[in-house]
Amino acid sequence: MTTVPRLSTWRKLVLTVRRRWSTSGFWFGLAITVLWPFAVFGTRLGWRGGEHLPRTGGALLALNHVSSCDPVFDVAFCVSHGRMPRFLAKAELWDVPVVRSVLGKGGHIPVRRASTRAGDAYRDAVAALERGEVVAFYPEATHTADPDGWPMRAKNGVARIALVTGAPVIPVAHWGTQDVLPPGSGRPRLWPRREVTVVAGPPVDLSAWRGGPRTRTALDGATAAIMADVTALVAQIRGEAPPARPHDPDAPAGERRRPV
């Protein structure tokens, strides 16, 4: 298990004062202000690997997904390292009052699944990367269905965007957020304070697929490489070995996880 030091109260205060707001937009900036104390002071938060976030230019963050509060901690991590992330999120959230303003004015990207506008998210993500934005991507598309919380088989959209744009893919893992807000629960557990860890790794090596044909096989292979790096970071945090094969929610029930 890799030990990640918890942020001291002094360090948290320094980050609170120094965090950047210039590109957040009013409503997203307000949401960060409201949720910052919950994320930073309401948990025993620790992180490592912020040096892997490029200081400028477009980058994709590939993150595991274990709780609805994951974005809160991912924003805190990115903002504390000088970048303002833009998230891909399901379009239904744009129908919720207040949330619509936070997401829309914050430059986030709606994903309209099973719609004639499903390709808009792809084009908007590419455009954001070309503007030099950091785009945060949960390749699993929803909370993991793995019964032990490991990353499951992902969709290949993240690889498609990475190979088209050439943007670096930074793997990011978190653990402990599922204890703060369990999946399916609307009630955060604030006491005792929970341990939350966020770790970023170096860019994923996608050289085997860059410049080649973007076939389904190539996209799935690049996606598997991305998720392997994310899963390795989760394993470091947990101090456990991941399953030999990721959970596949689309497979028949008896075949969702099988040994290689």
Would residue 207 count as lying in a domain? yes
Q: Is 137 exposed, middle or buried (0-12, 13-18, 19+ CB in 10 A)?
A: buried
In CATH, what number is assigned to the domain containing residue 80?
A: 3.40.1130.10
How many domains, in total, are found in the chain?
Answer: 1
| pLDDT given at position 228 | 95
Q: Which two tokens stand for residue 251?
A: 């497979």
Q: List the one residue out of 82, 119, 124 whose CA is nearest residue 103.
A: 124
Would residue 105 count as lying in a domain? yes
Q: Which domain holds residue 231?
A: 9-244
Contact yes or no for 68/188 (Cβ under 8 A): no
Would residue 166 count as lying in a domain? yes
Would residue 249 count as lying in a domain? no
Would residue 171 count as lying in a domain? yes
Residues 213, 206, 69: CA angle, nearest 5 degrees: 115
Taken in order 169, 175, 180, 183, is the CA torsion positive or negative? positive
Would residue 251 count as lying in a domain? no
Q: List the one residue out of 166, 28, 169 whose CA is nearest residue 108.
A: 28
C-alpha R_g of the chain: 18
| pLDDT given at position 260 | 44
Q: What is the pLDDT along the chain (260 residues), one digit of tens a residue?
A: 457 889 889 898 998 888 776 677 766 677 777 788 888 999 999 999 999 999 999 999 999 999 988 989 999 999 999 888 888 876 666 556 566 566 666 667 767 665 555 567 778 888 889 999 999 989 988 889 888 999 999 888 899 999 999 999 999 999 999 999 888 777 888 888 899 999 999 999 999 898 877 888 889 999 999 999 999 999 999 999 999 888 887 766 555 555 44
Which residues is 137 bridged to in the sheet? Answer: 62
Which residue do the tokens 């943007």 mark? Answer: 167
Helical H segments across 81-174, by residue range: 99-105, 119-130, 157-165
| pLDDT given at position 188 | 81
Would residue 258 count as lying in a domain? no
| pLDDT given at position 256 | 55
Would residue 35 count as lying in a domain? yes
